Structure 1
Amino acid sequence: MTRIVHRPIPPRSYALLEQQGVHPLLARLYASRGVQERSQIDYSLKALLPPDTLTGANDAAQMLADAIEADARLLIVADYDCDGATACAIGIRALRAMGANVSYLVPNRFEYGYGLTPEIVDLAAHAEPDIIITVDNGIASVEGVARANELGISVLVTDHHLPGDELPRADVIVNPNQPGCGFTSKSIAGCGVMFYVMLTLRAELRRRGAFAGREEPNLGSLLDLVALGTVADVVKLDHNNRVLVTQGMQRIRSGKLTPGLRALFAAAGREPARATSFDLGFAIGPRLNAAGRLSDMSLGIECLITDDFARALSLAQQLDAMNRERREIEQGMQEEAEAQLATIDIGESKSLALFHPDWHQGVIGIVASRIKERAHRPTIAFARGNEGEIKGSGRSIPGLHLRDALDLVSKREPGLILRFGGHAMAAGLTVREHDFERFRDTFEQAVADMVEPSALTRTIETDGALEASLMNLHAAILIEAETWGQGFPPPVFADRFEVRNQRLLKDKHLKLSLAKDGSVFDAIWFNRAEPLPPCVNAAYRLDINEYQGVRRIQLMVEHAEPA
């Protein structure tokens, strides 16, 4: 069962935004997302939070400036997802532009695990670095940093994940979520943290006169990478993140892309001039992530750091082929997962834990996400890891903090979970293969104790009805130009329609003609084959369909029920 619910619109905020000159439709949408005044939709660079409020950023700048002056060897240790790849590319590009001797290492996660482990430090030591810089990881790497200290290698941790009870003994830590940090954007992605560190480094080098007689590097040229990493990591788009993403999107749409990103748009068949956050999250990000899921992320990082467009295009085409392979693997795994689901009475269960001995470690997170969307239950998918162990990747639903649920399992059954980590909506863990059924049952009980029954009913939150006069191309263009994403969701409207016509496209998509208030609209419901009744209440997004150079309004149906 799915319920359509409407976001409340605070009348004072709505009225104030209108008075301040915001278009009435946007004023309504913004107000319902917590925006109270126009300054909260100021996305100019001057609206960014000041870098000196990020604890450790100034210390990092001094550390790196000293290293550049001494021609010290810097080594970035990157994470294997899109956020980690963009953070690494930002670091490589900015540091080289500021005269640093810098290289990178992105280990295969299936061999070395996650974060700055002692094994990764030993691997990094072959490059004889003076300083290791972590990007998008390191805050939980207590043992790895200790190993670097033993070897006499300094460590700068840049991360955004939640710290554990013990912080690593790094020379400098830059993480807005570390205790005592006053930086108010706790949702900034790893690429955003690295961008801020580069801003403070440039300011420090400027203070030292390092740019005398030469042009300062333009760090604004890296904002397209910041936007990509931020959107792909699905962090909450608070005001500061919306500034970063908006600025990056403006560069992309105006054609000021790094060669690698331009190549990825070409490989994905997308047009940068009309790019949206959806393109970054669902077309570009997955192509980069495919490298980290199936092998290692060095292919993706090389694509982002090269200035040779021909090489970038070759790399992007390899990433595109890898992404097709990932989709084929995922499709087979999803079919197997759904076969398992067919034997489970989901109505009685509060969670799902699925395991298949042939599943691929790199794709279980996507499978968990797909099954979670289908079943609307917290879902963990497991694949074989080290001998005798299975690794799980979980996705949750609103109303259940997944990491807290795993913590409860570990307290109730000490030793059952070998390792775990994550946050509210996603988490990873390792258990012994022979303990899978015991974990499944204990996890089910933990979820049952933590989740409210109402959270197990799927809801689609909408912005209510839309007047027929606003269901036009102008309104769709207004919406498309804004920055939407996690925590600041794209508009979904809900209205009653008469179904005038319906037919199937490619045997799986429902093409519709929907009538309201005397107007008829083209509509499509992807991956829906069953016909609709004559009258429906539908939740939908305004979309622009372009064909042979002509742009028309189209409704993208998300859900419909008999009216």
Structure 2
Amino acid sequence: MATQKLIRTRPLPTELPAALQSLPPLLARIYAARGIQHDSQLARNVEHLLAAEQLKGMAEATQLIADHVQRGSTICIVGDFDCDGATSTALGVLGLRDMGAAQVGFQVPNRFEYGYGLSPELVADLPADIDLLITVDNGIASIAGVEAAKARGWQVVVTDHHLAGDELPQAHAIVNPNQPGCSFPSKALCGVGVMFYVLVALRRELEQRGWFAERAKPNLACYLDIVALGTVADVVSLDTNNRILVHQGLQRIRAGKARPGILALLRVAGRDHSRITAADLGFAVAPRLNAAGRLDDMSVGIECLLTDTVPLADFYASQLNEMNLARREIEQDMQHQALHHLDRLELDKDGLPWGLCLYHPDWHQGVIGILASRIKERVHRPVIAFAQGEQGEIKGSARSIAGLHIRDALAAVDVRYPELIAKFGGHAMAAGLTLRDGAFDDFKLAFEQQVRTMMSEEDLQAVIEVDGELHEQELSLDNAWLLRKSGPWGQHFPEPLFAGEFELLQQRVVGERHLKLQLRTLSGRTQLDAIHFNADLSVWPSACKRAYVVYKLDVNEFRGEVSLQLMVDYLEPR
């Protein structure tokens, strides 16, 4: 069932940029293929970060927040129930307390009770003594929620990064690089990145007021580990600005200077904090933090990030790890049901639809986003997975592919069929929506029609972009170390991938779903260990003797031994 993929080599400029000519040749061509032309694009020091003042609304927001800090007001931060929301919330609480704010609390809506964002229902349930409400990683679409908060006499600052709709909330200040009229050069800041910039500007505002004359001025760089985690977890583009934030955060974690909660989450995931990469944040830490918001209450994850004590951090991390194990079991059951449904669809004369909508009344509302992502990777087309919501509504989580801006597609459906969607929001590659009672079948048809108008058949071809083949002498542990330290790699600055044909000397299944391989170059001179995690064993011929392999160079550390290992992304029998 898995879609066969087209392997395409990333194009290189005809002439290597001068800024790259002094680098090792392998690294130079990898950077060149990612559009690096100037030294400034490789900057990693905080002094190269974009200026906070370039964000529209920053002056109004920081002046207002500073007023409340100086008054000793009660400040409430309202976050989101994913990893970016959790890190944004924790950062806001820690940063404001460090600034001298006397009373700072937080509230994250339980997704099953309130849904996403600052809703009027959530506002109604908040304590009455709030003076200032700050949203993080949400709020740009909370028109009614902001009005409800103002009606209770509160002042409201919205900090967000999601795309704005036709109407903006009437908050006292809005900081969002993606709001109309904002000239901030990096539109890829996530929620925690926006909050970090707010704190930077707030510290400057308070300093100008003489606030730190009798108290310590906080060092905000000590929170870059939290910023790095949220940035990687939200899969935003790692442009130069975000790479600086992530690199600086990784440096703090490797030095053992991270929040106790982050170090505890790395421990339960079996990761050595001194050698972690951005991928470890994305695949080991973030899922455990996200598990709280998916299955229960993200407050557990936020408390894990807030605590200053190692025993308490270990306690929270253990809880989060247990939640993540439960989430995996739920997800696997849901995936089996979804794949069974896909098998039936593939037998249909029309095959799979271009825009795939899946629904089961027993699916877990907190796990449908992961399910949509897994199925999207398998069939390479936009996928929306739905689960039962409240009062007969069904909740959907959408994941898209290159070629379809999923939020724009939902907006177009909403314009053509306003009776189908109760609410929606999101960005290019991911979105969430709620359908009105009984609208699933009609929405499924409308979504398929819309996808076909916005995509071409070529878009349905899954493509893996690689950095070409490696010469035999380039298959080295030294190069694996070089690439590991030359990141951070991530969205739109992808980790180097290589491709080539190898002989398969041995293969065995480990841990039920992983394929352990021993490869040999076609020259016969070099043998290599490789592993393919979560391989689709149902379609892999166990008797295969030669394969085309797409892989990353990786450093394998086992029982004190360090060796080169290929991390396989894709295999084709030859």
- Separation in 2, partners of 1:434, 1:498: 54
- Which residue type is aligned with residue 295 of structure 2? L
Following superposition, the deviation at residue 400 of structure 1 comes to 1.3
Cα RMSD (Å):
1.5
SS in 1 for 2:553: strand
Equivalent of residue 453 in structure 1, options 452, 457, 472: 457
Q: How far apart, in 1, do the equivalents of 2:218 and 2:66 lie?
A: 14
* 2:555 match: 544
Q: Percent identity?
A: 54
The aligned counterpart of 2:328 is 327
Q: Does 1:479 align with 2:480?
A: no
Are the counterparts in 2 of residues 87 and 136 from structure 1 also a CA contact under 8 Å? yes
Task: State the Cα deviation string for residues 318-343 of structure 1 (Å, max 9, x = none).
Answer: 11111111111111111111111111
Q: How many residues align?
A: 560
Distance 1:63 1:207 in 2: 14
Return the offset for 1:118.
1.2
Q: Is the 8 A contact 2:20 2:37 kept in 1?
A: no
Contact 1:187–1:237 (CA<8 Å) still a contact in 2?
Answer: yes
Counterpart amino acid of residue 219 in structure 1: L
Look up the equivalent residue of 2:324 and give its one-letter code: N
Distance 1:506 1:186 in 2: 41
Q: Give the Cα separation in 2 of the matches to 1:57 and 1:96.
A: 20
SS at match of 1:342: helix
* CA distances 1:58-96 after superposition (whole Å, capped 9, x unpaired): 222211111111111111111111111111111111111
Q: Distance in 2 between matches of 1:282 and 1:127?
A: 39
Give the corresponding residue for 1:222.
Answer: 223
Output the amino acid matched with 1:511: K
SS in 2 for 1:361: coil
What stretches of structure 1 of length at least 5 have no aligned partner? none
Does residue 499 of structure 1 match 2:504? yes
For residue 506 of structure 1, report the CA deviation from its aligned partner. Answer: 4.4
The one-letter amino acid paired with 1:115 is G
Distance 1:560 1:116 in 2: 45
Structure 1 residue 423, shift from structure 2 partner: 1.5
Give the conservation status (yes or no) of the 8 Å contact 2:342–2:352: no
Moved >6 Å (runs of 4+): none
Q: Does residue 1:490 correspond to 2:495, yes or no?
A: yes
**Structure 2 length as normaliser, TM-score?**
0.95
Give the distance between the partners of 2:509 and 2:170, measured in 1 at CA: 60
TM-score (structure 1 length as normaliser)? 0.97
Structure 2 alignment gaps of length 5 or more: none
CA contact (8 A) 2:160 2:191 kept: yes
| Alignment match of 1:117 (pick from 91, 110, 119) | 119
What letter corresponds to residue 513 of structure 1 in structure 2?
Q
Other structure's SS at 2:552 match: strand
- Is the alpha carbon distance of 1:141 and 1:237 closer, same or farther for their aligned partners in structure 2, counting shifts above 3 Å? same
1:440 corresponding residue in structure 2 = 444
Report SS of the residue matched to 2:439: helix
2-structure distance, mates of 1:539, 1:210: 56
Amino acid at match of 1:266: R
Query: Residue in 2 aligned with 1:405?
Result: 409
CA distance in 2, matches of 1:264, 1:96: 24
Q: 1:356 corresponds to which letter in structure 2?
A: H
Q: Deviations over 1:400-436 (max 9, x none)?
A: 1112222222233231122122111111111135221
2:9 equivalent to 1:6: yes
User: Is the aligned partner of 1:419 residue 2:423?
Assistant: yes
Residue matched to 1:553: 564
Deviations 1:517-552 (A, max 9, x none): 422211222324333643332211111111111110
Which residue of structure 2 aligns with residue 510 of structure 1?
A: 515
Q: Distance in 1 between matches of 2:489 and 2:60?
A: 34
Q: Distance in 2 between matches of 1:320 and 1:390?
A: 28
Shift of 1:510: 2.7
Question: Aligned residue for 2:40?
Answer: 39
- Kept in 1, the 8 Å contact 2:140–2:162? The answer is yes
Q: Matches of 1:115 and 1:478 in 2, distance apart?
A: 42
- What are the superposed Cα offsets for residues 453-472 of structure 1, whole Å, 9 maximum, x if unpaired? 11111111101011221211
Q: Distance in 1 between matches of 2:512 and 2:80?
A: 40
Change (3 A) 1:558 1:366: same
- Counterpart Cα distance in 2 of 1:192 and 1:540: 31
Matched, 1:336 2:337: yes
Alpha-carbon contact 2:515-2:532 (below 8 Å) kept: yes
Letter in 2 for 1:78: G
Could you say if the C-alpha distance between residues 178 and 497 of structure 1 is closer, same or farther in structure 2, counting changes exceeding 3 Å? Answer: same
Query: What is the distance in 2 between the residues matched to 1:549 and 1:269?
Result: 15
1:534 aligns with 2:545: yes
Contact 1:492 1:540 in 2 (8 A): yes
- Alpha-carbon contact 1:510-1:528 (below 8 Å) kept: no
> Contact between 1:499 and 1:532, CA under 8 Å: does it hold in 2?
no
Report if aligned partners of 2:356, 2:382 keep a CA contact under 8 Å in 1.
Answer: yes
CA–CA separation in structure 1 for the residues paired with 2:511 and 2:202: 54
Mapped contact 1:395–1:402 kept (Cα < 8 A): yes
| Corresponding residue of 1:300 | 301
Question: Do the aligned residues in 2 keep the contact of 1:382 with 1:390 (CA within 8 Å)?
Answer: yes
**2:469 aligned residue:** 465
- Kindly state the Cα deviation for residue 18 of structure 1 after the two structures are TM-superposed: 3.1
Task: Answer whether contact 1:17 1:27 (CA < 8 A) is retained.
Answer: no
